[in-house]
């Protein structure tokens, strides 16, 4: 089991009051509520980063050489299909 550490944070009073309300409503301690919120934030941030990497990987468009290769393959496939006509 990992060890716990204590930390102090500062926030506006109205936010602190909302935290207390929500912790009470969920029947968890403030500390637990902060842990849950941070865990959720970290997961969302990891997902955002992963999506950004995926989008980046698929964002490049074929260059002219790749386009020529694709067109050549399509023409070859079309030719093969036409030859196999029954």
Give me the residue spans of the domains in the chain.
13-83
Q: Are 70 and 62 a contacting pair, CB within 8 Å?
A: yes
Kindly state the tokens that stand for 81.
């299909």
Block residue for tokens 């969302």 = 44
pLDDT tens, residue by residue, 47-77: 999 999 988 887 777 888 988 999 999 999 9
- In angstroms, the Cα distances linking 25 to 21, 30, 53, 55 are 6, 11, 38, 39
- Tell me how far apart the alpha carbons of residues 26 and 18 are, in angstroms, rounded to a whole number: 12
pLDDT tens, residue by residue, 5-52: 999 999 999 999 999 999 999 999 999 999 999 999 999 999 999 999
How high is the pLDDT of residue 86? Answer: 56
- Tell me how far apart the alpha carbons of residues 46 and 78 are, in angstroms, rounded to a whole number: 44
């Amino acid at each position: 089991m990992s060890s716990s550490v204590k930390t102090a944070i500062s926030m506006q009073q109205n936010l602190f009051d909302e935290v207390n309300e929500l912790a009470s409503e969920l029947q968890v301690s403030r500390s637990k509520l902060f842990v849950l919120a941070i865990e959720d934030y970290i997961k969302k941030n990891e997902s955002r980063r992963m999506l950004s990497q995926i989008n980046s990987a698929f964002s490049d468009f074929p260059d002219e050489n790749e386009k020529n290769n694709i067109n050549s393959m399509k023409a070859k496939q079309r030719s093969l299909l036409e030859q196999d006509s029954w």
